[in-house]
Amino acid sequence: MATIRALRRLSSILNVFIKFHLDELIDELGSSNRSKLFLFLMPRRWFRRKIDLPRGERIRLALEELGPLYVKFGQSLSTRPDLLPEDIAKELSKLQDDVPPFSEELALEIMQASYPDGIDGIFSEFDAKALASASVAQAHAARLVSGEEVIVKIIRPNIWDQIEEDMNILLLMANLLNKFSIAKRLKPIEVVKDYQKTVLHELDLMREAANCSQIARNWEGSEIIKVPQIHWDFCRKNILVQERIRGIPIDDIEKLKEFGVNFEQLAKNGVRIFFTQVFHHNLFHADMHPGNVFVDVTDPNNPKYAAVDFGIVGSLDEKDREYLAKSFNAFFEKDYGQIATNFISAGWVPEETKANEFESAIRTVCDPIADKPLEDISFGQLLFRLFETARDFNMVNQPQLIQLEKTLLNIEGLGRQLYPKLDLVSSAKPVMEEWRKEQLSITNTFKKIHKDLPEIKKTIESIPPLMRKILEDEENKQNMPQADLTYFVRQLYMGIIGVGFLIVGAILIGFNQLAAFSIVAIGLFILLISKPKQ
């Protein structure tokens, strides 16, 4: 039965594919005669109407007709300008994840099933009519018995079966597309698997709650951003209960003007939030489209952001952050050789890449924009062009950087919509300088040592057996007396203990300087007395 249902679904997808003349794209991809014959023999192809629309618009309309999961897939594709032609990526960004809600009766049924003791003991009010609805979940307004206003997010019922079926079909289509040599550059299998991972994460609302909770801790007491509180006791894998955020949608410019919002400050705060999340918190909201961002206008001169929907977040490891910051600095100094070196050192391109050729390609991208006013430079586009150039040098797939690039483009576009003269550099500079100082600080060095202490301990413990073996081998070669061997081993042990004291002292300097210097002094004394006799 499941196979028959899947075949029917595949047939309907092919019909939509043909209706919007997407089969014509097969010729662009260099299809085989067998594929052309298969499409020609499909009856729907013979009687269809001619559509005189650009290919990007035809793809968008086809995805909208196929339903919410395909709309979401199109949205996911639109965030990968590294893989898609610009006209298609731009058109797919117009897709709206707005679908009819499921019934009020079904919403109440899911709530009752999730709270066996009943919802009356948890909610004094629950609006069964959806406040907002999307492809994966919908939101309801409610009030806890304690009086707090909340939003209850509910995953769509029976969505797992639908996703599994559609994912299998998408993977089948990706495998077929991967057989075309031109299409391989689009990495269809990788794109579908990335999308599958994203959707599966969004289906687990406990994961979203954890993301939201961590970001709220990172911004606790902040004067520029508000993150909703999670009510953990009432969250389930398919239900999320969080504080209700009140504010004006960030793209409602006219409403913001009515309240006299300081748009320059709002735009600068947005940049500051993004760079703080990336470099200091290492956890950034990666779905910052206007529907997920509101503005608290309690103080119009210092408006506060209010973010929702933390199903998609991103992070970079320490190496990525370091080389990304170095590359931005190198761009300002027009040191394109340094950018090439950064990409190679970070492992983003193969180490055998010829740095001089790579530098030349980077110069072609950067020189035309390097002397423009800072408010005219798009750093999202700069990253996109750099990554695009790096792909010509076999750049290794870096999904975390693509996620960063997409979010930066969103933040930049949103910021300049609010304040066209936004200077991204001056807004981000204080955050970056603070991060650099933090990286160079002694305290940060001690923190790293403290973090690596188990490995340091393991390494130190492995030294004596290794040295004993070396000394025993040397004794066998030179007939070293046993007394001398024992002396050397004892001195070696004392040296290791001395080094251990120095490490502990270094760790304690940031916390208790008196104790730290005492321990360092002991370590130095042990090292002095452990010096071998001549």
Residues identified as active-site: 287
Are 321 and 329 a contacting pair, CB within 8 Å? no
DSSP string, 252-276: -HHHHHHTT--HHHHHHHHHHHHHH
Cα gap 225→247, rounded to integer Å: 12
Q: Name which of 73, 67, 75 is nearest 91 in CA terms.
A: 75
Cα gap 367→364, rounded to integer Å: 6
First to last CA, the chain: 87
Cα gap 491→495, rounded to integer Å: 6
CA 403 to chain centre: 5
Are 283 and 238 a contacting pair, CB within 8 Å? no
Q: State how far the alpha carbon of 508 is from the alpha carbons of 69, 344, 518, in Å.
A: 54, 36, 10
298 φ/ψ angles, rounded to the nearest 5 degrees: -55, -40
**Residue type present at position 244:** R
* Joined tokens for residue 153: 């997010």
Which residues are 217's β-sheet partners? none
Cα gap 69→71, rounded to integer Å: 5
Are 231 and 387 a contacting pair, CB within 8 Å? no
Question: What's the number of CA atoms in the CB half-sphere (13 Å) around residue 5?
Answer: 8
The set of residues, in sequence order, having a beta carbon less than 8 Å from that of 87 and lying 6+ positions away, is 54, 55, 56
Look at strands 123-126 and 137-144 and give their pairing. antiparallel
